[in-house]
Amino acid sequence: MSFLFLSLSVLSLCLSCFIEANLSNVARRTFTEKDAEVKRMPLPKDGAPVRILLGDRPDTVTVVGPSHVTQFDFQNHKNEGNAVVLSKCKEKDCDYHIAVVQRTTKAEEVFLCGAAGQDMFACCMNLTDERPTCTSSKQTQPIDSTKGGINIKEGEPSVLVESGEKVDLYVTYSGSEEQVGIHRFGEHRVGPANTNKERHYVGLLPIKEGGDPTQDKVYAFYRERNSDSELDSDTWLPFVSRVCTADVGGPKNNLQFCWTSQMNARLFCGDPDRKQHFSELVDVATVEAKWWPDTRVYGLFRNEWGMSAVCVYTMRDINNTFATSPFKDNKESKKRPRECVKDSKAISSDMLGIIKLTSEVKDWVRPENNTAPLLSNHHNYTHIYVDSSHQQRNDEHTVLFLTEQKGGIHKVLHVKTQTFVIAEYRPFNHSAHILSITLDPFSRKLYVTTKHELVQMDVGNCGSYTDGCEDCILARDPYCGWNGTQCIHKTHDSLQDVTGGDCTICEKPEKAQRHSRLTQADTSKGGHSVLLPAESRYFLSCPVSSHHAQYSWHHGQKSTSCTSNEDQCIFLIDSMNHEQEGTYKCMSEERGFTKVLSEVRLQMGNRAVGLLSGPLVWVCLLPFLVGSL
């Protein structure tokens, strides 16, 4: 008997671990536009937004489009748009198209760049001006005077590097044409050598190492189409590339105007133990640190099986790979310098010949501490955004936002070695292609853009956790905490346990008002009696809030796990008889916290009653039956 009890205990523990592991990738709560505060406004019709800029006042953002600047005020639900005036177009009419928007070191100033006819334009604009005018300056003149060259595409990663009176624009060019790669515009224009490879860039990251400015670098993240056509080969390969900001290209006729410092390394994202491998780099998000080696890069990947994953890399590991790895397939390349040089035009012709042969290192960059992906599931994620405000508070957790292909957004907690999908937000009642997401870290408002509208969504919606202290703690939402009476925006003295969601802390009277481990439903709202005819069919339902909870219906000494659709827990009675009479309770259990959600008393009437109520019963049952087909 003891052996049987031990076996059952082990089986129960294994089942509990299995359920918890499978729930780790399931959003605990789902919030539609009806459940969370969602506001939306139409975007100008001049094209998709190029950049969303947070305003200095709450609930305000600025949207810069291909030709217009629009100020949005969600608090007063109004917007004001104006066409951008280029100073170089005042004397003559010219068509222009804004493709790059970057903030400068000056308050309320942005740098704009794009195409004006066949040439490139670059200028700066103050966002507070009533009539937005973009004016070229001494700093932007080297870029503004560029003739011809590449056509900067919308959506390409770009960074603006300012150094004293000098301004350089780094921008990528994706595709399979000759211009594919990293381009720099400014005092010294530099671009890639022809690679004959298809590459698609997803991010640029400038790193200032401090001390010697010649060692400053720009890193690019991209996916490259695999030239290996074998059936078991990956379609895409993920890479990180680096160039030195001091690089001005080689001497005349030898890598002139081309990078001499570029090095490339493969990125690895996967779990060898589970035989999972992710090779298509979709997007990156960076969290900058006070000391540059601690800067983290969150990479969003996909694989051939429709799964998504997130892997985290540190700039320390990326830099070490470039500094120590041998070069791929070229023994002579060991002579190649790893550090940035002060004068790239002075590099010997022999060394330039070696540089031309290869730029890829042999070793791969692996995730921090060589760990498996912090998140992997069957969702088709398209963008990643990381709330970096925890860095200023020295918190041990991170909040990620991942957009889905059809318009949903997952809010994910990463703490230590765990990930927890706090919620899925559905700001659209239809399938929508999300172009970008931006978070205001102070108000916890997320700004989401599609081609036609701008949506503001409250992702610090602590008021949605209305069922007491336990509901607030089980959410494990770092934006929320229990203050003794309600779930509010987190403060230093409010209660929360993001690591374990241990709601037993609610039982400590000095921390929160005491709540019973078994919470009864409000019978004034949900408890009621129903009279049913003999042999009739009927179904009971109660609301599903947490998708991590186990739901069951209890009648007498019997309990039945209910069939759960997205928002209701269903229990079906095939044929009403005397044994089915009595009180039915719908209960949920999550991490040891049990709650009565609904209570119904069923009584059996006579046939006459059945003839009257039968059709009504079937009308109510029809939606459930249709949804079950």
pLDDT score of 546 = 92
- The 3-state DSSP class for residue 316 equals helix
- Sign, CA dihedral 607-611-614-616, equals negative
CB contact set of 220 (below 8 Å; sequence gap of 6+): 157, 172, 182, 201, 203, 204, 205, 240, 241, 242, 243
pLDDT score of 95 = 84
Tokens 């960059």 sit on residue: 365
Query: What whole-number distance in Å separates Cα of residue 35 and Cα of residue 283?
Result: 29
- The 3-state DSSP class for residue 289 equals coil
Average pLDDT for 545-564: 88
pLDDT score of 13 = 40
Average pLDDT for 451-480: 94
Q: Is the pLDDT of residue 525 over 60?
A: no
Among the residue ranges 33-37, 44-48, 289-293, the one predicted with the least confidence is 44-48
Residue 396's pLDDT band (cuts 50, 70, 90): confident
The 10s digit of each residue's pLDDT in 605-616 is 864 343 333 333
Q: Is the pLDDT of residue 207 over 90?
A: yes
pLDDT score of 606 = 64
Among 79, 241, 100, 232, residue whose Cα is nearest residue 167: 100
The token pair that represents 368 in the structure block: 């921090």
pLDDT, averaged across the chain: 86
Q: Is the pLDDT of residue 12 over 70?
A: no
pLDDT score of 9 = 40
- The 3-state DSSP class for residue 626 equals helix
- Asked: is 522-628 a CATH 2.60.40.10 domain? The reply is yes
Highest mean pLDDT among 26-40, 234-248, 328-342, 528-542: 234-248
Among the residue ranges 246-255, 446-455, 473-482, 538-547, the one predicted with the least confidence is 538-547
Which option is the CATH number for 175-368: 3.40.50.1970, 2.130.10.10, 3.40.50.1820, 3.30.1380.10?
Answer: 2.130.10.10
pLDDT score of 618 = 33
Within 10 A of 158 (CB to CB), how many other CB atoms are there? 21
The token pair that represents 388 in the structure block: 């970096």
Strand ranges for 208-354 from DSSP E: 217-225, 236-244, 263-266, 270-271, 276-277, 280-287, 296-302, 308-314
Which option is the CATH number for 461-515: 3.30.1680.10, 3.40.50.170, 1.20.1090.10, 3.40.50.720?
Answer: 3.30.1680.10
Tokens 């960076």 sit on residue: 286
Q: Is the pLDDT of residue 211 over 90?
A: no
pLDDT score of 491 = 87
> Letter for the amino acid at 414?
H
Among the residue ranges 323-327, 366-370, 617-621, the one predicted with the least confidence is 617-621
Q: Is the pLDDT of residue 16 over 60?
A: no
Average pLDDT for 150-158: 90
pLDDT score of 514 = 37
Residue 508's pLDDT band (cuts 50, 70, 90): low
- Output the CA angle 77-80-86, nearest 5 degrees: 155
Q: Is the pLDDT of residue 498 over 60?
A: yes
Higher pLDDT, 330 or 515: 330
Among the residue ranges 9-13, 148-152, 160-164, the one predicted with the least confidence is 9-13
Query: What whole-number distance in Å separates Cα of residue 311 and Cα of residue 269?
Result: 6
Q: Is the pLDDT of residue 228 over 70?
A: yes
Among 437, 214, 194, 492, residue whose Cα is nearest residue 344: 214
pLDDT score of 146 = 78
Residue 564's pLDDT band (cuts 50, 70, 90): low
pLDDT score of 1 = 44
Higher pLDDT, 25 or 448: 448
Q: Is the pLDDT of residue 389 over 90?
A: no
**For the chain, domain boundaries:** 175-368, 461-515, 522-628
- The 3-state DSSP class for residue 165 equals coil
Contact assessment for residue 458 and residue 36, using Cβ atoms and an 8 Å cutoff: yes
Residue 563's pLDDT band (cuts 50, 70, 90): low
Q: Is the pLDDT of residue 299 over 70?
A: yes
- The 3-state DSSP class for residue 24 equals coil
